[in-house]
Structure 1
Amino acid sequence: MPRHVGIIMDGNGRWAAARGMPRSFGHKAGVEAVRRAVRAAGELGIEYLTLYAFSSENWSRPAEEVHDLLGLMKFFITRDLAELCANGVRVRVLGRRDGLAPDILGLIETAEGRSRDNTALNLNIAFNYGARDEIVRAFQRLAARQAETGGNVGDIDEAAIAACLDTAGLPDPELVIRTSGEMRLSNFMLWQAAYSEFVFLTCMWPDFDKAWLEKALEEFASRARRFGGVSAAKEIAL
């Protein structure tokens, strides 16, 4: 069982189009899939779940769709925070915060503050998030620290960079899942996913449930994770 699972939630628009409905219909159905995913992760014993909810590139979508997505983010936090806290879920939001509307920023801070001491499941929501932007901001933090402390370039290592990422203090995801059949990362956790296993599911995100999560976990369990080395089975075969 992986400790940390990341999910690229994809396919809301195509799911809605297949039903002759607007994209907003698919996004609303996608929120229900989020609820199912969070509950399933808790039931299966996953410690960390990171959901790619809104990328920094999503701002380029039509204004009406962006408005709907932001509204659903606010609706999810407002409606579900009490249940999440009751179930011991800690909420953490990854991504750039400067420039966010005050009401959204306030909800994010409330969710993180109220759930800070929960330990059953760590739910990370990647919102206004892009991995390249995250890495740039990490190096900006490092540069500021170097200027303050008078450190030198030789002091910078992987641990120093990781400590400045949005995911500081979190384990890297062992498994990254993407729905809808697309096979790309789309600027999601580029640093953290260096040794992740990838599972690409054919289901659209609104259809995602515990059975699909279990299917991905079964695929993960069947793989030998070597981290650049050679597995014991391979050595025996040689």
Structure 2
Amino acid sequence: MAADMRLPTLRKPVSISTFDRKDLVVPGDVITSDTGFMRGHGTYVEEDKLTASVAGEVQRVDKLICVRPLKTRFNGEVGDVVVGRITEVQQKRWKVETNSRLDSVLLLSSVNLPGGELRRRSAEDELTMREYLQEGDLISLGQGVLVQLSPSLIKRQKTHFHNLPCGASIILGNNGFVWLYPTPGQQEEEAGGFYTSLEPVTLSDREVISRLRNCLFALAAHKILLYDTSVLYCYESSLQHQVKDILKPEVMEEIVMLTQQKLLEQEG
């Protein structure tokens, strides 16, 4: 009977300052005793002290203080990038699962139909809605892998679309849905948002995407914020292991520690 064994390795200690952060609170923590602040979501006032009612990150906007929960359903804001799956085709609209409290709505009048031509939405368009998007489709996405994670792990950035140097691309949806796909060689702007590549994905591309997928799960398991740099560092740290081994607890811990070390070196 074969046994999988790994010898211990000398690891460089990594000091992580996450637990020293002053902006993280748990229920009952006093945020401030200053009565000049206004109470926002996730807070309450007790004995003239603003107190946290949920575990999360303290956010201050002028005189308003609120706590953003670490674990919660996605609550969309203007400008968010989301990855959604069609759950129902209705009259002149699609219902979309976006990991939110309620299903989202995508109106037929709000999308660019194939070809990108500007024209009135006709009854014919309404009758052929399933030719554009049908139940189970991910909106305007071709072949790839969907990874569903907690929205709180997605770091807000100016762009959530990244072509990684490893040969794959990633869409980090603010709603926690992450899309991994082979980097397209050529974009067709005239497709009106409905261009879908059905070309066979090569074995090398599938291996890269599978490695990225496992890296995402490793980072999420250790509560590391997900953005292009952290994902790329984790990918590079995993190259000494086979794809299937990344999710083994001891391998996962080693890869995440190396990733944290690289991130700290970059910040320092």
Class of the TM-score when normalised by the shorter of the 2 chains: under 0.3
**Structure ID, larger Rg:** 2
- Which has a greater percent of strand? 2
Q: Which has the higher contact order (CA 8 A, sep 6+)?
A: 1
- Which has a greater percent of helix? 1
TM superposition score normalised by structure 2: 0.23
